[in-house]
Amino acid sequence: MLLKLLHNRTVYFFLLLSICLLGCLPLCLFAFVLVGFVFIGRTPGHWCRDPAAEQETKVCGWTDKDLRELTSPRLATGSFSRCERFSVDWNSTRVDCNHSRGGQSPFNSTPLVPCDSGWHFEGPHTTIVTEFSLVCKNSWMADLNQAFLTGGFFIGALVTGYLADRFGRKLCFISCMAGLGVSGVCIIFSPNYPLLLAFRFLQGFFGKGAWTATYVLVIEFFGSNNRKFVSVMSRSIYSTGIAILPGLAYFIHSWRILQLAMTLPTFFFIAYFWIVPESPRWLLSRRRTTEAMAVVQDIAKCNKRPFPENYSETNLLEEKQEEVNNPSFLDLFRTPNIRKYTLILIYAW
């Protein structure tokens, strides 16, 4: 009843700017978390390094392209092999400096060996793949990055949803944003790939928690007539983040600096602790009526709507007589209707 006093068919200034816009802004960063690996984990063109052959470039003035044509075999498709090179003993082999410029290697009949001295990577951009040499026989390890992220999403959806119901949407959001920022910074300084995967999992865990908490926090301020507007705005801001990301990746060549640029804004949202109020619906569900009335009175003031003078906590207590029960996963299956909706959503997702 209390919230209905402040809802009508107009989306008010306070709800639009202070709640909806502010609450949806973090979705821009969540786009970085989910789609950022397209750039920080990109696999550029590459071919085997041959340190002995590279010494010849100082004498002959070969470019990287010349060196590739000399040391890498051509495949049937016309491209160069990325995972094998010619086995050449450069201590006893001398090559005319003009051989490589003809496009035909003089070592075509030479046996091939796997890349045992690393790889040359094309382009100025560094990525996780170039940092940890996740190519050829190790290329499957690059796919683990997104797998660990989605694993974090899965566990985060189970755990943080409960925490948001138990301790509040705002507290869950602030905590998860802090965890998202810390895990993002730890990715930058990870000394090895397994540790990076662990922090990537935590990034998914906290990212999913922050995403869920902020969406629920915003949606609970609105009546059912205006919730479509919230969904459209949230998806628009998420899409804006996806549109911004390629520009960042184009100008930032180092994956570590790009990761830092995607992570640092996360810490600004910790200030929401003092800016965004807790959901009055959640406060009412926990019978914290004094705090709920304070939030709704602020909304009424910003909306320039009169708050009923004779409305008090007594009215709220009369409206909310049921006991406050701690949320449980069993609640998803307790009644036939809820059980039906739960199973439908599980199947749909």
What pLDDT does 65 receive? 79
CA–CA separation, 187 vs 61, rounded Å? 39
Q: To which residue do tokens 């909304």 refer?
A: 299
- Return all residues near 91 (Cβ < 8 A) that are at least 6 apart: 52
Task: Compute the average pLDDT of residues 154-160.
Answer: 90
Percent of the chain residues past pLDDT 90, beyond the cut: 39
From residue 35, how far is each of 29, 172, 259, 262 by CA, in Å? 10, 23, 12, 11
- Residues paired with 84 in a beta bridge: 114
What pLDDT does 83 receive? 87
Average pLDDT of the chain is: 82
Task: Compute the average pLDDT of residues 148-157.
Answer: 93
What pLDDT does 9 receive? 40
Q: Name the DSSP class of 3.
A: T
Over residues 93-148, the pLDDT tens digits come to: 666 666 655 556 667 667 788 888 888 898 888 999 999 999 989 999 999 999 99
Per-residue tokens: 318: 């009369």
What pLDDT does 238 receive? 92
What pLDDT does 323 receive? 47
Residue ranges, comma separated, of all CATH 1.20.1250.20 domains in the chain are: 4-42+139-342
CA–CA separation, 295 vs 289, rounded Å? 10
What pLDDT does 103 receive? 54
Task: Compute the average pLDDT of residues 62-83.
Answer: 79
Rounded to 10 degrees, what is the CA torsion of 180, 181, 182, 183? Answer: 50
Answer yes or no: is pLDDT of 348 > 50. Answer: yes
Rounded to 10 degrees, what is the CA torsion of 276, 279, 315, 286? Answer: -130
CATH architecture of 4-42+139-342: Up-down Bundle (1.20)
Q: Name the DSSP class of 66.
A: H
Q: Of 72, 81, 76, nearest to 103 (Cα)?
A: 72
Task: Compute the average pLDDT of residues 77-85.
Answer: 82
Which parts of 85-137 fold into alpha helices (H)?
128-132
Percent of the chain residues past pLDDT 70, beyond the cut: 80
Contact 166, 326 (CB under 8 A): yes
Task: Compute the average pLDDT of residues 76-87.
Answer: 81
Answer yes or no: is pLDDT of 261 > 50. Answer: yes
Q: Name the DSSP class of 74.
A: B
Rounded to 10 degrees, what is the CA torsion of 274, 280, 285, 288? Answer: 60
The reported pTM is: 0.81
Q: Name the DSSP class of 334.
A: S
Over residues 185-216, the pLDDT tens digits come to: 999 999 999 999 999 999 999 999 999 999 88
Amino acid of residue 224:
S
Q: Of 266, 218, 200, nearest to 41 (Cα)?
A: 200
> Count of H helices and E strands in the chain?
17, 4
CA–CA separation, 160 vs 213, rounded Å? 8
Task: Compute the average pLDDT of residues 46-58.
Answer: 77
Identify which has the larger pLDDT, 169 or 294: 169
